[in-house]
Amino acid sequence: MARQKQAQPVQRTPSSEIMQEPPDLPEPNARQQANGHAGKPLANGNAKSKGDAHVAPHDSSPGLIQLAICVAGIYASFLSWAVLQEAITTTPYPVRPPTAEEPEPPTERFTFSIVLNTIQSAFAAITGFLYLYFSTPKGQKVPSIFPNRQILFPLILVSITSSLASPFGYASLGHIDYLTFILAKSCKLLPVMFLHITLFRKRYPLYKYAVVLLVTLGVATFTLYHQGTTKKRAASTHSGRSLYGLFLLFINLLLDGLTNTTQDHVFSSPDRYTRYTGPQMMVAQNFLSTILTITYLLTTPYLLSSNSTILSLLPVPIPPSAGTELSSAIAFLSRHPQALKDVLGFAACGAVGQVFIFYTLSKFSSLLLVTVTVTRKMLTMLLSVFWFGHSLTRGQWLGVLLVFGGVGAEGFVQRKEKKAKERAKAAAAVKIRKRSSNSSSCCVVLLFLCLFC
């Protein structure tokens, strides 16, 4: 029998340098698919090598049509996802139809973040499995999402942190508006840098600190110049609500950063966890997140019936009445069919968007994805302004320019650094070829001298 060789681990770019994003995944999980299909087909992290018959053919370079499809898919999926997210979390639905005696009945909003997160992760897990199944080369075994026991702990940790992040993010929307939420979600580099500096003692280039400063100033400026609404000002001071909302959002970003850092550890440790690809992570994370959130929804009513203080001890900003969240959400969606359509569309758009991100990373460079992500977030804000009739002050526009200026400058510097590295590699290769050519010429000269002397 032919001797099997272990496939060489693929070098991967850290997620903090690829995406400033789910869903949120989120955006989440999409960062490490680059090189996901390169080399030999893998099953459960091991290469099958039976001669040359199983060596995957070299794919031709992607063309302009593929690029257009990828960019259009990301824009269409996540712009629709963002519009539906804002509609779900901000639309007031009347409790009962208006009548002559009551032309304006009381309204209610969808506040069931755990249910929304469960539906989103279930859709993403199913879609990710289909993508993993159909992207596996014909005749090869579909890679396992749990190739060994060692990978279980980091995958469970990723699913826990990503599941906890969403409730904090949705809770922040009760204190800040959606535009501030979107703007702050563009600052994922801040918590990632914070975790790497404090936990791993890592140092960053000076320009990254400048980017963080610009982004922080931008978010602060946008928040300070927020006009607020009359109802919010009557309830409490706007500044206090905004600070608390930003605090909840910071916890959300911190959990996202911990998720990204743990994913980086899995992808950068092929000797310990085997070679793990983006689609495998997408399926595993969303599958485990669905199990966790379903368990939470089914068990909390029974826990509350025995001890009402248990829910208050959980590190999630959910009121005690959320113990009946599943039944309350089902009743809400049955009363408002339009909300059910929005929730299902939101989950479907997020799942499809993740697949487009994975495919883009497998075919194109990560810097292209950074450009697409930044422009997509800008379009999301503009779409929110015009679609829902928001108005921005000059100070808020200044904050937007500071944030996206900082993120755009980071992408520009990264592009220059990558081009410089590529030029250095090309120059080194030319020097090696010249040395090899000179050595060959010397050998030929010496051979002729030996023959004629």
Q: What is the mean pLDDT of residues 161-176?
A: 86
* CA–CA gap between residue 23 and residue 109 (Å, rounded): 22
- As a whole-number percent, the residues of the chain with pLDDT over 70 amount to 67
More confident residue, 305 or 126: 126
Is the pLDDT at 6 greater than 60? The verdict is: no
pLDDT of residue 30: 39
pLDDT of residue 152: 93
Is the pLDDT at 193 greater than 80? The verdict is: no
- Residues 6 or more apart whose CB falls under 8 angstroms from that of 134 comprise none
Is the pLDDT at 23 greater than 90? The verdict is: no
pLDDT of residue 310: 53
* CA–CA gap between residue 47 and residue 165 (Å, rounded): 36
Element (H, E) at 42: strand 42-43
Tokens of 228: 């607020």
pLDDT of residue 47: 42
CB-CB contact of 214 with 183 (8 Å): no
Most confident of 47-56, 136-145, 198-207, 381-390: 136-145
Q: What is the mean pLDDT of residues 240-265?
A: 81
pLDDT of residue 159: 93
Q: What is the mean pLDDT of residues 165-173?
A: 85
- DSSP percent split of the chain into helix, strand, coil, nearest 5: 70, 0, 30
Q: What is the mean pLDDT of residues 170-194?
A: 75
Band the pLDDT of 308: cuts 50, 70, 90.
low
Residue with tokens 């091991």: 46
pLDDT of residue 316: 55
pLDDT one-digit tens code per residue, 375-423: 677 677 777 777 767 777 788 788 778 877 777 777 677 777 777 777 8
Closest CA to 319 of 104, 113, 123: 113
* CA–CA gap between residue 418 and residue 410 (Å, rounded): 12
Is the pLDDT at 301 greater than 50? The verdict is: yes
Q: What is the mean pLDDT of residues 429-451?
A: 68
pLDDT of residue 240: 61
Q: What is the mean pLDDT of residues 240-251?
A: 81
pLDDT one-digit tens code per residue, 347-373: 999 999 988 887 877 677 555 666 676
More confident residue, 441 or 164: 164
* CA–CA gap between residue 112 and residue 89 (Å, rounded): 9
| DSSP label at residue 26 | B
Q: Which long-range contacts (CB under 8 A, 24 or more apart) does 149-153 make?
A: 150/272, 150/273, 151/266, 151/273, 151/274, 151/276
pLDDT of residue 433: 73
* CA–CA gap between residue 143 and residue 128 (Å, rounded): 12
More confident residue, 123 or 187: 123
Is the pLDDT at 305 greater than 70? The verdict is: no
Is the pLDDT at 17 greater than 60? The verdict is: no
Band the pLDDT of 436: cuts 50, 70, 90.
low
* CA–CA gap between residue 247 and residue 308 (Å, rounded): 26
pLDDT of residue 20: 35
pLDDT of residue 307: 56
pLDDT of residue 122: 96
Is the pLDDT at 57 greater than 60? The verdict is: no
pLDDT of residue 426: 79
pLDDT of residue 36: 41
Is the pLDDT at 251 greater than 70? The verdict is: yes
Average pLDDT, the chain: 74
